[in-house]
Amino acid sequence: MAVLEQGRRFDDEDLQKASQSMRDLFWMPALGLKGLFTQRFFKHVNIVGGVGVGGGSLVYAAVLLEPKQAFYRDPAWADLGIDWEADLRPHYATASQMLGRTTCPVTHLQDGWLEQTAAAMDVRESYGPVQLGIYFGPEEETPDPYFGGEGPPRQGCILCGACLAACAHNAKNTLDKNYLYLAEKKGALIFPQHKAALVRPIGGGYQVEMVHPLDKSQTYAPLTAPRVVLAAGVLGTLELLFRSRESGALGNLLPMLGKRVRTNSEAITAVLSKDETIDLSKGPAISSDFHANEYTHVTQNRVPPSYWFMKLYACPLVDGIKPLRRALKTLVMFIVHPLESTASLRVRGNWHKRVTLISTMQNLDNQIAFSWGRGPFSGFGVGLQSQMAGGGRAPVYIREANLAARTFARVSGGIPHNSSIENLMNMSVTAHILGGCTIGANAERGVIDTSHQVFGYPGLYVVDGSAIPANVGVNPSLTITALAERAMSLLPARRG
């Protein structure tokens, strides 16, 4: 078995640099940046993610939550003849075990303020600690606590708040410490800096062409396999399939490719503490949450020093669903209340210690789509282009998000902010893009069947967030893993 990854392996020193320096954090090959955090702008959405051996798990907040029942009953996949809630239950259990899921055992100032926010919004009973994929054992190195000694030694969380930029202290349960680590022990080969460029059917299997993502002069011989599993994240998987379709290698892929893409209906707000001496960075990135109503989930977020660039997006908190009017109100607020409106922009050095990011997600339906062509957001070269699709548009303004930020600011004595990407550019922001290669009953309704196999291409599978046809409504890492566990359980066992 071979695993291809366009990024590189990162050691603890690399990860420490990524948590401290934006230059070491970002993956932007065109600018010579070779980190692990990606940020890509499209017309309708700004998408962040991770690159490296371990993929998005390197920069995820280690949150492992199960969705509410509405996810399983969503019309997008409720009529496929499968009781998804019952069918996925054992796979959630396996994913939880593999990812070391545990209840966050610590609280800090942010958590107290979030609890007060939930109480002020009359939903105190929904507040609580989140489930995390973090080892909270002794801080000194200890033998593998998860896999009977088969896994790597680990160290307990030191509560540094750097989960979003990668954990340099061997505490966060990233894929290179569980699935990939164990796979390598069993003989799997991992090829860093090998980007899959094209997939084509050949002799009852598939040939995968690869390129070096940073050095075009370096070439690789293609690999062949009877089965190929695509798990490059929504953008990576879509790019590979579109490129393969347009080249004719996978010419029978039908028009549902790139359709029904969702952002998990989320918004990012922030609250800046007025206390210049405070330190809110102690703890896991996310440690507590609440539900504002039956379809709205709210969490707090701590950020590491390398995330200082996010303060450049800070703008006044402004309500309104009409984009132009909201943009004008934002500009007026800058003029009428210049000190408060620019408070985050003027902080030097310790912004990450004073800020609380608030993530708000909903399981309400929304859709955009991706096509393949030329446009300004691909540098006028050929690439993915976002476009409007059927259903509600991916939200740019969420009323509950602004209410939570305003309430949190009131109970903490801070200053609430929206993102200028949302207010001024009318662009949603997400770390949880879903869909584009969704499960469907047939090729007219999806890209893959209920076994995750691409319609018309036996042995070609899509097993990542792009397969999910409905909004999860919470951080989707556990659900993506559970679906992957289910898909792999359906594969026939290899002889020997």
Q: Which residues are catalytic?
A: 432
Could you give the CA distance from residue 383 to residue 370 in angstroms, rounded to a whole number? 10
> 2 with 223: CB under 8 angstroms?
yes
Residue 441 phi, psi (nearest 5): -75, -30
351, two tokens: 């912004």
Residue with tokens 């566990």: 485
- Choose among 165, 148, 136, 163: nearest CA to 21: 165
Strands (E), 278-320: 288-293, 296-301, 314-316
- Choose among 198, 194, 195: nearest CA to 241: 198
In 197-322, where does DSSP find H-type helix?
Answer: 233-246
Could you give the CA distance from residue 30 to residue 22 in angstroms, rounded to a whole number? 16
Could you give the CA distance from residue 13 to residue 157 in angstroms, rounded to a whole number? 17
Distance of CA 140 to the CA centre of its chain: 30
Residue 55 gets the label, from left (phi > 0), alpha (psi -120 to 50) or beta, of left
In 80-125, where does DSSP find H-type helix?
Answer: 84-98, 109-120
- Choose among 360, 288, 293: nearest CA to 128: 288
Could you give the CA distance from residue 184 to residue 308 in angstroms, rounded to a whole number? 36
Distance of CA 218 to the CA centre of its chain: 30
Could you give the CA distance from residue 388 to residue 272 in angstroms, rounded to a whole number? 34
- Choose among 313, 347, 331: nearest CA to 421: 313
The number of helices, as runs of H, and strands, as runs of E, in the chain is: 13, 25
Max CA pair span of the chain: 73
> 489 with 452: CB under 8 angstroms?
no
362, two tokens: 């909903």
> 289 with 168: CB under 8 angstroms?
no
In 121-205, where does DSSP find H-type helix?
Answer: 179-185
403, two tokens: 């209410």
In 247-347, where does DSSP find H-type helix?
Answer: 323-336, 338-341
Residue with tokens 């006028």: 380
